[in-house]
Amino acid sequence: GAVVSQHPSRVICKSGTSVKIECRSLDFQATTMFWYRQFPKQSLMLMATSNEGSKATYEQGVEKDKFLINHASLTLSTLTVTSAHPEDSSFYICSARGTGMGTGELFFGEGSRLTVL
């Protein structure tokens, strides 16, 4: 299957700082990328959907000013957690779908574990 790379895999930061997570599609052009959040033993909760070159669409209850998403190219999307607080500590996962790919062809990154102290 196609490869989606996420970086960093782990990040620890102090409360009040901002953290950027990158999601790259390595061998295909990702027209759509999705960002999820997963708490321990919980399901993946969709945070936002981003299409290349346009503003992200956020799910209800997700603060767009806190979770900044940029999808500036067909191979890169970034999620910036601004002014992070301990309650933002979670596992963040991106997924990507390329042009012509069907519904089942959604490829996930390895995830990024954020710990806010």
For another protein, the closer CB: 86 or 104:
104
For another protein, the closer CB: 75 or 95:
95
* Rg of the Cα atoms in the chain: 13
CB of 44 to another protein, least distance (A): 5
Residue with tokens 């959907």: 49
Instruction: Report the interface residues with another protein, using CB under 8 A.
Output: 1, 4, 6, 32, 34, 41-46, 49, 91, 93, 95, 97, 102-111, 113
For another protein, the closer CB: 87 or 103:
103
Contact indicator for 76, 26 with CB cutoff of 8 Å: no
Q: Please, what sign has the CA dihedral across residues 50, 32, 28, 67?
A: positive
